[in-house]
């Protein structure tokens, strides 16, 4: 079954959110991924990928993700909330 994770956290400032957004854009490879920046400068990530519990996460194993993780605690405000999710439907008509 395809794994689905939803990750949400906030950043310490708009500048930290800008840096976070730049680093997120570099991570996408071999996965279906949706990253949303909310009006309060928090982020929600939704990823779809096929890997078993004993296999390497295809996102976490990329160089771009390693760069994203650098100084992440300094950009982030508070904890990370990550949960598995069940897909109810996907209805995307336009992405900008």
Q: Which pLDDT belongs to residue 36?
A: 87
Sheet strands side by side (includes 3-11): 32-37, 42-49, 3-11, 76-84
CATH topology of domain 3-84: Alpha-Beta Plaits (3.30.70)
Q: Return the domain boundaries, the chain.
A: 3-84
Q: Is 37 helix (H, G, I), strand (E, B) or coil?
A: strand
Q: Is 45 helix (H, G, I), strand (E, B) or coil?
A: strand
Q: Report the C-alpha gap between 31 and 13 in whole angstroms.
A: 28
Residue 1 has pLDDT above 60, yes or no: no
pLDDT bracket for residue 2 (50, 70, 90): low
CA distances from 53 to 31, 49, 50, 63 (A): 16, 12, 10, 21
Which is more confidently placed, 58 or 13?
13
pLDDT bracket for residue 26 (50, 70, 90): confident
> How many other CB atoms are found less than 10 A from the CB of residue 47?
22
Quote the Cα angle for 79-75-61, to 5°: 80
């Amino acid at each position: 079954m395809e794994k689905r994770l939803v990750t949400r956290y906030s950043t310490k400032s708009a500048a930290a959110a800008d840096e976070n957004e730049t680093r997120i854009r570099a991570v996408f490879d071999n996965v279906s991924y949706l990253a949303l920046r909310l009006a309060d400068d928090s982020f929600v990530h939704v990823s779809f990928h096929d890997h078993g519990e004993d296999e390497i996460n295809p996102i976490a194993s990329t160089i771009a993700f390693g760069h994203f993780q650098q100084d992440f605690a300094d950009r982030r405000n508070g904890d990370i909330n990550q949960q598995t999710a069940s897909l109810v439907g996907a209805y995307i008509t336009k992405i900008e």
